[in-house]
């Protein structure tokens, strides 16, 4: 398969304006994400999708590929869809978060491996929850999977609810998973899901992947043991060496 890695990057982030251009140990955030993505051998090409000339100029400065997209997109998935309509010849797309400067290429490869099964149209990664802090943090989406490791539901709440057990003992009774926000789509599925209207579950939880599930799409998951560090606010820079 020919697979393109797309890194959506916008300048006007509500919580961290100009985030892709912040300097991390001498390189911009977007350069670090791009260089890590390029290490994934399963990707045929890597492209930054941005609506801002300042980000495009930065990508150009380090020799990266970029495509200017609309500033009206509500999600990275929508931005990826615009890119895939502008290029041709790719069987699948990996949507790589632009705020994970040290994303491990192994995670990208693990996601790509989902498409070794020709029936998989959508894929993402999950990770075992190992702390109560993560388990009850509503900012960390949880995911329930079936016997085939397909996602059944995503929620900001802790799911499933363990009846008749104190919350401090829930992790002894069940293996919980959190969502790692990297997505893969076949090119055709990507174009299909971006034509779907927002769903009630998506609106309730503010999680776009629920739109796909609510419309009957299966999302294949793979379990990663690698922890990702995302930079959502300026304070998050304290998580890494700057």
Closest of 71, 79, 84 to residue 98, by C-alpha: 79
User: Would you say how long the chain is, in residues?
Assistant: 242
DSSP percent split of the chain into helix, strand, coil, nearest 5: 35, 25, 45
Match 């779907």 to its residue by tokens. Answer: 196
Long-range contacts of 154-161 (CB under 8 A, 24+ apart): 154/179, 154/205, 154/207, 154/209, 154/210, 154/213, 155/205, 155/207, 156/205, 156/206, 156/207
d(C-alpha 116, C-alpha 109), whole Å: 11
Model confidence at 48, pLDDT cuts 50, 70, 90, reads: very high
Q: Compare 157 and 230 and report the one with higher pLDDT.
A: 157
d(C-alpha 206, C-alpha 203), whole Å: 5
Match 């491996």 to its residue by tokens. Answer: 113
The model's pLDDT over 88-123, given as tens digits with 9 standing for 90+, comes to 899 999 999 999 999 999 999 999 999 999 999 999
Give Dmax over CA atoms of the chain in angstroms. 58
Say yes or no to pLDDT of 124 above 90. Answer: yes
The model's pLDDT over 190-207, given as tens digits with 9 standing for 90+, comes to 999 999 999 999 999 999
Helix (H) or strand (E) holding 192: helix 187-193
| Residues in Cβ contact with 242 at an 8 Å cutoff, skipping those fewer than 6 apart | 23, 24, 25
Say yes or no to pLDDT of 71 above 90. Answer: no
pLDDT at position 242: 44
d(C-alpha 48, C-alpha 217), whole Å: 27
pLDDT at position 228: 83
pLDDT at position 241: 58
């Amino acid at each position: 398969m020919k697979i393109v890695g797309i890194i959506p990057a916008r300048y006007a982030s509500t919580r961290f304006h100009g985030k892709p251009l912040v300097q991390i140990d001498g390189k911009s955030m977007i350069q670090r994400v791009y260089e890590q993505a390029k290490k994934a051998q399963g990707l045929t090409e890597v492209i930054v999708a941005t609506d801002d000339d300042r980000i495009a100029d930065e990508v150009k400065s380090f020799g990266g590929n970029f495509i200017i997209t609309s500033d009206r997109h509500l999600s990275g998935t929508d931005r990826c869809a615009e890119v895939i309509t502008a290029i041709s010849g790719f069987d699948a797309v990996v949507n790589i978060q632009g705020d994970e400067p040290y994303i491990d290429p192994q995670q990208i490869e693990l996601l790509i491996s989902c498409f070794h099964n020709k029936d998989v149209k959508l894929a993402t990664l999950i990770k075992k929850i190992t702390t109560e802090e993560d388990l009850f943090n509503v900012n960390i989406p949880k995911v329930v999977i079936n016997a085939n490791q397909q996602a059944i539901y995503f929620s900001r709440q802790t799911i499933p609810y363990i009846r008749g057990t104190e919350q401090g003992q829930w992790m002894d009774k069940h293996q919980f998973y959190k969502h790692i926000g990297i997505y893969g789509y076949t090119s055709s599925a990507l174009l299909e899901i971006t034509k779907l209207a927002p769903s009630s579950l998506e609106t309730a939880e503010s999680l776009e992947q629920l739109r796909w599930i609510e419309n009957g799409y299966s999302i294949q998951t793979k379990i990663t043991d690698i922890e990702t560090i995302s930079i959502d606010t300026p304070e998050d820079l304290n998580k890494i060496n700057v």
